[in-house]
Amino acid sequence: MSNPTKDDKPGRKNRFVRRSFGAEIVDLDGVEFIECKFRGTTLRYRGGAVPRIIGCSFSEARFAVDGPAARTLALLQAMASPGSGLQEVVRESFGALFAS
């Protein structure tokens, strides 16, 4: 386990290398995670700088959004609802996200 270190990349606050996270809330915005373990962890994204997640493992982890990210997700959910008429637009616009 290592302590976070400062990163010289703009928008990156912390870097965690081979750290284990337990039943806690971990903010993802602007953070780099390398070979970390998340067990029972809530991963929260607020719409800031996109995190880098490399070689990590997840067990019983959850994902949560807040702030601008939550508003974006709410917009996408509304657009994808059957009554919106935008379901196909959402599928075409974000198809790569769901491709296997």
C-alpha to C-alpha distance for 40 and 21, rounded to whole angstroms: 8
| pLDDT mean across residues, the chain | 86
Give the pLDDT score at 13.
60
What separation in angstroms does the CA of 35 have from each of 13, 18, 29, 40, 42?
18, 5, 17, 16, 17
- The pair of structure tokens assigned to 67 is 């702030």
Rounded to two decimals, the pTM is 0.74
- Residue segments in the chain with a per-residue pLDDT below the cut of 50: 1-8, 11-12
Give the pLDDT score at 16.
97
Q: Which residues contact 2 (CB under 8 A, 6 or more apart)?
A: 16, 17, 18, 19
